[in-house]
Amino acid sequence: MNTLKLVLLTALALTLSACFPSNPSDKTEVLLQGRTMGTTYNIKVVATVEQLKALKLQDKIDASLKQINQEMSTYIPSSEISQFNQQASTQAVEISPGFSRVLAESIRLGELTGGKLDVTVGPLVNLWGFGPEQRPEKVPSAEVLAATKEKIGLANLVLAGNQLSKKVPELYVDLSTIAKGYGVDVIAELIEANGFTNYLVEIGGELRLSGFKSTGELWVVAIEKPLTTERSVQQFIVPKDNAMATSGDYRNYFEADGRRFSHIIDPATGKPINHNLVSVTVIHPSSMTADGLSTALMVMGIEQGMQFAIDNDIAALFIAKTENGFDEQFTVKFKQFLK
């Protein structure tokens, strides 16, 4: 998902070598960095350098992320999702377990949120110039918008186990609102499978944390103030053994005809959202789920989003823009994570 960049208080700007201890047998926070999904990843594992090298952990991480890209990136023409989008047939095809896992959660969240999270909204994203097609930055006509809306809708996507089909040949699936969160979950599970329980995983701003830092302190992260002109901290968070995702509309947008258009599209209107909510942060055990929910809550706006979060026991922080700056609101469940 396109998210606010989370400022990590664990000095992720350091190079990998700078995080190695002078004695490689001492446990420390070893930083692993790389690129994936059009962004960067930063992973800290409390371990020894020798342990991570012996397990070839970074090689395993890169291989897992490459596989996820090959399954779910709409920017790779040969990816599994691209091949599904390109086919005009409505016959079911067999898909990989990872692709199926993400689609199942996307459909569940789409139904839970009344369609506010819709992974078939891709044609509208492309229409407004925010997808891989990179169309001209101009406002679509009402006729084009109506015609494009006819090609979307979760009801047109059918998932039965690992069998996927579409009722509309032009249906296009885009998992950018949830795939990075899934990537975080996969890497966290990989790290745990290799015997480590103290770690921080971050991909493009989505996080999952477990245990403690090498100092014995809990991991602390910060949510960035939603400004386009500078980067500063809005709020400090202690997520504990949880994942955290933030969705915002102030980094990715374009201006046309004197108006500002967000990259976040409301499936109901087919247009970019138009309200004063500028970011939503969700804390949940799954980064994938937090990723999807933060986008859905952004689409809802602060009043509907807050009520939905309360009704569904979601730990959520809402930041809205006002004439006097920014206003914060959060659910009772989120309060426990504030530093």
Looking at residue 317, what is its pLDDT? 96
pLDDT band at 275; cut points 50, 70, 90: confident
Looking at residue 5, what is its pLDDT? 38
Long-range contacts of 87-90 (CB under 8 A, 24+ apart): 88/169, 88/170, 89/169, 90/165, 90/166, 90/167, 90/168, 90/169
Looking at residue 333, what is its pLDDT? 97
Are the C-beta atoms of residues 69 and 80 closer than 8 Å to each other?
no
Are the C-beta atoms of residues 285 and 243 closer than 8 Å to each other?
yes
For the stretch 232-257, pLDDT in tens is 677 899 999 999 999 876 554 444 45
Residue 328: beta bridge partners? 319
Looking at residue 133, what is its pLDDT? 59
Higher pLDDT, 99 or 224: 99
The number of helix segments (H) and strand segments (E) in the chain equals 10, 18
Q: What percent of the chain has pLDDT over 90?
A: 65
Looking at residue 246, what is its pLDDT? 92
| All domains of the chain in start order, with CATH | 1-339 (3.10.520.10)
For the stretch 11-47, pLDDT in tens is 333 223 333 344 445 679 999 999 999 999 999 999 9
For the stretch 310-326, pLDDT in tens is 999 999 999 988 887 78
pLDDT band at 224; cut points 50, 70, 90: confident
Are the C-beta atoms of residues 89 and 169 closer than 8 Å to each other?
yes
Residue 116, C-beta contacts closer than 8 angstroms, at least 6 positions apart:
110, 266, 267, 268, 296, 297, 299, 300
Mean pLDDT, the chain, whole residue set: 86
CA distance 139 to 117: 22
pLDDT band at 162; cut points 50, 70, 90: very high
